[in-house]
Structure 1
Amino acid sequence: MPDNLPDKMRAVAIKNNTGPADALHITTIPLPKPTASQALVKIHAFGLNRMDLLQREGRYPVPPQAPSTLGVEFSGTVVSFPPGADNPEGFKEGDEVFGLAYGGAYAEYIAVSTHMLVRKPSELSWEQCAGIPETWITALQALYLVGGYTPGKSVLWHAGASSVSIAGIQLARADGAAKVFATARQDAKCEFCVKELGCDGALNSTKEEPGWVEEVLKATEGKGVDIVVDFVGADYFQGNLDVLARDGRAVHLGAMSGTKLPAGVDISAFIRKRIRFEGSSLRSRDEEYQGKLRDQLVEHALPKFKDGSFKVLIDKVFNWEDVVEAHKYMESNQSKGKIICKIS
């Protein structure tokens, strides 16, 4: 490693290892040492994700290879490689990149696999690039690998103003979806999904009459949708079964409303409509799996970022020294798009 690199760096830590947003603080920890398959990157910005909130509270199963520092997506500059580094993409010191990591992005430096780095397009800012990796790779995984999407299918994205759904809505629309719907819990977010993202319909899921299930069935002439991508969990389980078309797929990525199903849930649709319900995650996957999705991001989405077809929508940018406020803002559920922290 270059002689001018420090031995230590600043990073966000959690007092007593778990706790509320106020437990976050910046401390000094040793500089990470990259392994033979990694590069050391100086971070300029990092993205927040809901898993960060859960990990902070001690409610997220962290992969064994992840450092204790939060954060899985970032943008920055390559500063060094270990001798004989595995570097198939030919990255060089000084290259501007963004990437996905198992953890450690809430810091000044990160050691990250060269297989998970992507060259930063000049058309995008550091903040925009920091909001791409986890969000867009998760959307690609949900839509294609798990959901089995092909052009002409219809898709419903719950939590439509969340970063993953914003990405997924754009992917589906660009790839010839018959219809794209969304749900959200605020009228302003529903309006955003239609006017800004081009959804065919966006339904406020807090309204009971008519509910989102009835509205989607009406808009599809009773057929339902082919794919539902859900982050909400228990409260939407029955509705997902009801709204899915024959041979439909539900992709379960989160459980914001809990994991215990209420009494009276009717699962007959699994047989009657031949529904497939599949849960998935990204962070727990091995590097080979994640690397294939990284390649799909580069091939499928990166050109559209460059020409402006795909938008990286940022709701708010915080200085990383205000990370407590950033976490509280995410917890408030006000955001429409990514929340980013920049390192000045």
Structure 2
Amino acid sequence: MRTITQQELGGPEVLTVVEAPEPRPFPAEVLVRVEAIGLNPLEARLRAGEFPLLGRPPFVLGWDISGVVGEAPQTWRFRPGDEVFGMPLFPRAANAYAEVVSAPALHLARKPASLSHVEAAALPVAGLTAWQGLVDLGGVTEGDRVLVHGGGGGVGHVAIQLAKALGAHVITTASGGKREFVEGFGADEVIDYTAVDFAEVVRDVDVVLDTLGGDTAERSLGVLRPGGHLVTAVAEEDVELAAEYEAAGLRFSGIAVDPDPVALRGLVDLVERGGLRVHVEETFPFERIADAHRALDAGHLRGKLVLTV
């Protein structure tokens, strides 16, 4: 099979397509013949050495996959030929930038028929982050006011739809050029961060979901109602900021997404009920992985990028 590896840290050019033996599934794992691979900003940071999650190279990046089960020797959950998708093993290496991936069956779900493999591959990391942030940690319920930072991005556009499905009034920050895009996913209010400071105009929010980092979490303190809750996917280890929120009578939670079969099935159900769409801005063939990472590095994406196999 072909896989994409890197022997050193650096720019997109360090990613190389090579031949490698097919993996062998462990008990309770299945072999997935991959059709599409979702790309995430974290992978660009890992490639460049900004975040040492996988240690030193060589390593193979990637977690978001969609494909067809090739072998399922010791699990009852799937059979050869089943179409599946998921985010196996995170934060351990899943070696998902590959034509064949061995993954725990529990970390996969059957692909909704209404989603292509490309769309399904774009969903797991973004969808599970949004679900764990808004449902499991945020406890969003009907009537809540929710602020989603970065509503035009991969996590953000899914989070808008999930919050709406939970019955929330959804406010989001996005550039003016993405207004129609985020409104199309259900945003009730759009704050153009290039023209308006959200901290000056937003108040009485129940839950803030921070997908951006920088000073966004700190500046969100003043928009929350008493007892309100910030959930951040990028500043989860900021002890000082957590203490500042606690001192203000607010809640602070950091989310480090993990494989979650219950949430994954919840996302499938929402897709099948017509409450969730996945936007893929661009696809790249397997061989153009360096170009795909250049697009990741450039940022300001609408939805997700996907590698096709």
Query: Greater relative contact order (Cα 8 A, min sep 6): structure 1 or 2?
Result: 2
What do residues 9-59 of structure 1 show as CA deviations (whole Å, max 9, x unaligned)?
Answer: 211112x33111121120112211111121111101000011111111123
Deviation of the 1:190 alpha carbon: 3.2
Report what 1:280 is aligned to: 255
Extract unaligned runs of 5+ from structure 1.
1-8, 218-223, 284-289
Q: Secondary structure at the match of 2:288?
A: helix
Provide closer, same or farther for how the CA distance between residues 244 and 25 of structure 1 changes in structure 2, counting only shifts above 3 A.
same
Report what 1:60 is aligned to: 51
Q: Secondary structure at the match of 2:144?
A: coil
Mapped contact 1:183–1:190 kept (Cα < 8 A): no
Deviation of the 1:76 alpha carbon: 0.7
Provide closer, same or farther for how the CA distance between residues 140 and 268 of structure 1 changes in structure 2, counting only shifts above 3 A.
closer
Report what 2:119 is aligned to: 128
Report what 2:141 is aligned to: 150
Mapped contact 1:182–1:190 kept (Cα < 8 A): no
Mapped contact 2:88–2:108 kept (Cα < 8 A): no
The partner residue of 1:190 within 164, 173, 179 is 179
Q: Which runs of 4+ in 1 moved over 6 A?
A: none
Report what 1:326 is aligned to: 292
Mapped contact 1:242–1:269 kept (Cα < 8 A): no
The answer on 1:13 being equivalent to 2:1 is no
Normalising by structure 1, what TM-score?
Answer: 0.81
What do residues 90-148 of structure 1 show as CA deviations (whole Å, max 9, x unaligned)?
Answer: x1111111111232111010000000111122222110111111111111001011212
Deviation of the 1:260 alpha carbon: 11
Report what 1:286 is aligned to: none
RMSD: 2.5
> Could you tell me which amino acid in structure 1 is paired with residue 199 of structure 2?
V
The answer on 1:335 being equivalent to 2:301 is yes
Extract unaligned runs of 5+ from structure 2.
none
Deviation of the 1:167 alpha carbon: 0.9
Normalising by structure 2, what TM-score?
Answer: 0.90
For the residues of structure 1 that align with 2:163 and 2:41, how far apart are their CA atoms?
23
For the residues of structure 2 that align with 1:253 and 1:294, how far apart are their CA atoms?
20
The answer on 1:30 being equivalent to 2:21 is yes
Report what 1:287 is aligned to: none
Q: How does 1:101-250 map to 2 (within 5 A)?
A: 101-102=88-89, 103-177=94-168, 179-184=169-174, 186-194=175-183, 196-207=184-195, 210-217=196-203, 224-250=204-230
Report what 1:4 is aligned to: none
Q: Secondary structure at the match of 1:123?
A: coil
The partner residue of 1:271 within 247, 271, 275 is 247
Mapped contact 1:88–1:115 kept (Cα < 8 A): no
Provide closer, same or farther for how the CA distance between residues 30 and 57 of structure 1 changes in structure 2, counting only shifts above 3 A.
same
Report what 2:261 is aligned to: 294
For the residues of structure 1 that align with 2:180 and 2:219, how far apart are their CA atoms?
22
Mapped contact 2:129–2:233 kept (Cα < 8 A): no
For the residues of structure 2 that align with 1:174 and 1:32, how far apart are their CA atoms?
39
Q: Secondary structure at the match of 1:234?
A: coil
Q: Secondary structure at the match of 1:135?
A: helix
Report what 1:6 is aligned to: none
* Length, aligned pairs only: 303
For the residues of structure 1 that align with 2:239 and 2:133, how far apart are their CA atoms?
23
Mapped contact 2:245–2:251 kept (Cα < 8 A): no
Mapped contact 2:119–2:278 kept (Cα < 8 A): yes
Report what 1:99 is aligned to: 86
Q: Secondary structure at the match of 1:193?
A: helix
> Could you tell me which amino acid in structure 2 is paired with residue 324 of structure 1?
A
